[in-house]
Amino acid sequence: MLYSPGKGKKRALSAAIGHTRAEIIITTDADCMVSNRWLWALLRPFHEEHVQLVSGPVMTSPGNTFFEQFQQIEWASILLLTQFLFARGQPSMCSAANLAYRKSAFLEVGGYAGNEQHLSGDDEFLLKKIIQRFGADSAIYLNKREVLVKTAPLPHWNLFVQQRIRWASKWKLHGFSPNLLGAALTVALAAIQVGSVSLVFGGNFYRLAFVVFWLTKILGEKWALGNLLKQYKIQPSLLSFIKSSLLHPLYILWVAPLAAMGNFTWKGRTQKAVAARGQ
């Protein structure tokens, strides 16, 4: 049995990788479920010598409550953005719950060196290092149902918000990047959406503009996110899409300032803003 020489996930992973003789490292989480073809599908791209890292989608298990379906819809937006960035040759998002990479690449880029103090980001920091060393085409995103990893939905809103703060707080650690730009645009768009309520207090033209704006938003999200979820045989109700579309801007404006401060609690561990800056 191996014991980690220090505290934290990164130190435990580094210790295990240092001892293994395997050429490919595959990571997921203890509460995740995978298909019987997951390993085969995740390993197949490594037949190409230039491929150093392979990432796959993660999604919460199907649920019946609005909160459970809200999480699936929100996950779909993350997967859509991830797929878009990989397709543009600017990969900057991935999840350690569904990740594979060459041990040689991990060692060549120094593993998690320089990022051990952060409670989050072992996946994205490693992706960034590999892209910088081997190029954008060295990382692949597999958008296939057989590669999908399912995780349990979070039980309540407070835990959900803390998780999202943890994720969002690491984006600023990358400096200027597609992630940070995307986050800024998301916040700006959310502010516009919430501000559009002022149109209701104008004349008939402004009220019509308000209705058209929100119908376009709801139907557009239902089409884009619904098609992505359909690939994984997940179909949230129309009512959940409508409620999620209305709630999401408020959720973004709630999480964004908290993520900017960098304070969160996750699984009994607390990250303070000072620690997040590495001071």
pLDDT the model gives residue 90: 87
Q: What is the pLDDT of residue 15?
A: 82
Strand partners, 134: none
Cα–Cα distance measured from residue 49 to residue 51, given in angstroms and rounded to the nearest whole number: 6
Residue labelled with tokens 């999202």: 164
Compute the distance between CA of residue 149 and CA of residue 142 in angstroms, rounded to an integer.
12
- The pLDDT value recorded for residue 178 is 61
* Beta carbons within 8 Å of 126's beta carbon, 6+ residues apart: 53, 101, 106, 109, 111, 112
Beta bridge partners of 106: none
Which residue has tokens 């960035």? 85
Q: What would the two tokens of residue 34 be?
A: 């995978």
What CATH number labels 9-276? 3.90.550
Q: What is the pLDDT of residue 181?
A: 72
pLDDT at residue number 46: 97
pLDDT (0 to 100) of residue 275: 42
Q: Closest Cα partner for 140 from 237, 219, 42, 227?
A: 42
Contacts of 66 by beta carbon, 8 Å cutoff, 6+ apart: 239, 240, 243
On whether the CB atoms of residues 275 and 260 are closer than 8 A, the answer is: no
Going through 38-157 in order, the beta strands assigned E by DSSP cover: 53-55, 58-60, 99-102, 139-141, 149-151
CA 138-139-143 angle, to 5 degrees, is 140
Residue 58: which region, alpha, beta or left (left: phi > 0; alpha: psi -120 to 50)? Answer: beta
Q: Percentages helix, strand, coil for the chain, rounded to the nearest 5?
A: 60, 10, 30
Q: Are 54 and 46 in contact (CB under 8 A)?
A: yes
For the chain, give every domain's residue range: 9-276
pLDDT (tens place) for every residue of the chain, 279 residues total: 666 666 667 778 888 888 888 999 999 998 899 999 999 999 999 999 999 999 999 999 988 899 999 999 999 999 998 999 899 998 888 999 999 999 999 999 998 876 655 555 678 889 999 999 999 999 999 998 999 999 999 999 988 988 888 777 766 555 555 666 777 888 999 999 999 999 999 999 999 999 999 999 999 999 999 999 999 999 999 999 999 999 999 999 988 888 777 666 655 566 665 443 433
By the 8 A CB rule, do 95 and 130 touch?
no
pLDDT in tens, 54-94: 999 999 998 889 999 999 999 999 999 899 989 999 888 89
At 14-29, the pLDDT tens digits run 888 888 889 999 999 9
Distance CA 24, CA 104 (A): 9
